[in-house]
Structure 1
Amino acid sequence: MNTYKKFLLASAMIASPLIAASSAQAQVSGIAVADPEGAILGAKSLEAANATIATTYKAQLDQVRTRQQALQTELTALAAPLDTNKDKQVSEQELAAAEAAKNPILQKIKTAQTNGQQEVSRLNAPALRAQAYVIEQITQKYNPALETVVAAKKISLVLSANSAQFAQPAVDITDAIRAEIDRVLPTANITPPANWQPGQQTVQLLQQYQQAVYAQAVRQAQSQGAAPAAPGATTPPAKPQPQGR
């Protein structure tokens, strides 16, 4: 009897992983989740294009960094008189006092910010336009890549990763979609047609990408004890993690 029980136990231990694997495969074959933004913004062609953009528009991007640094220095000097307790920062109370007194320094700061940001935007525009064009090319490959993966894995339903409360890693096909995009679009053109304008989705994806790059820069700067630069079209030192689930 003991030998028979041991045999059943051993059989169950062998069968369990097989059943689990079969269940996971069934999930992948039926229902899957995907992160469209993660697949698009994580494409290798975007990473490669960023390197090309950084080289092509190096002069403008260097000017952007120089102007940002000059603007920060200017704003710090303008705000210094508002720091009444001399702790090298303007508190909410000090700012409120300046507003209540209608201190003319506030208008000078606002004017300097507006002028500086407009100049930075002008210098950044060509590189950002190129980056947006690359993102739009990748976006156009997303649906065909999704269809290819769905057909290969025999999936009947794909949910957005952001809307799923829980999903096993086995049902996430984002990496598979990204790999298919990389296969069909290994490189992207950084030169848009003369009259090309980015669509709303492209603009949103570009903004999301910039935010991811900036968040990464903030984390790196904090770890190094430095202040991060404002977000722009500069190439990040490493590929940012897409903001998904």
Structure 2
Amino acid sequence: MLIDPAGRKFSYLRLSITDVCNFKCVYCLPDGYQCDHDREFLSLNEISNTISAFAHHGITKLRITGGEPTLRKDFIDVIRVAKDTPGITKIAATTNGFSMHKHINDWVDAGLNAINVSIDTLDPRMFNTITGHDKFNTVMKGIDAALESGIESVKINSVLMKQYNGQELDTFLAYLKHRPVTMRFIELMQTNDNKAFFDKNHVSGQSIKVRLRAAGWQPV
């Protein structure tokens, strides 16, 4: 079992299988994905060996991430490799959802248990502004397909930003009322090169918590 100096046990591995992304989100890749050198990502065999090594040390849950992991042509094979690894009992993935409407059933059949979809707005025009792509309806179609697929868990990740979607909290809450979806609001991160953007757009988690409590939402 993997245990840190504080005595905490780790059973959850996040594995990035690519750094490529096809969206141009304003807070992440505003100029789109760029690479000026040869890329050499982990091969399927290397991924299998990595998962097996961590499973040997007590990892039971795997999250497949990127970049956008579904851009890999062997994404479904990665799921199968994870499913076939002794000790791995839960396989999740994080995606922008651009191809989910076409492939979610195949992913679930291969062994995917949970899906997190990054979508920062429920307004089609704002979606285009934030991501640089007119794919809102496609992503929402994918979320509906995931809910119909029988997958165990569907979560939505959203970064609220003052100048973009900062007023959409109530819209997201209304969307959740009649759907078995878990919503996660993620704070905008400050990095070395985004201080001006961060200062103009950061919405604190505490402020969201206060608004949720005021609206009657309770912790469980």
TM range (shorter): under 0.3
Higher-Rg member (1/2): 1
Give the structure with the higher percent strand: 2
Higher relative contact order (CA 8 A, sep 6+): 1
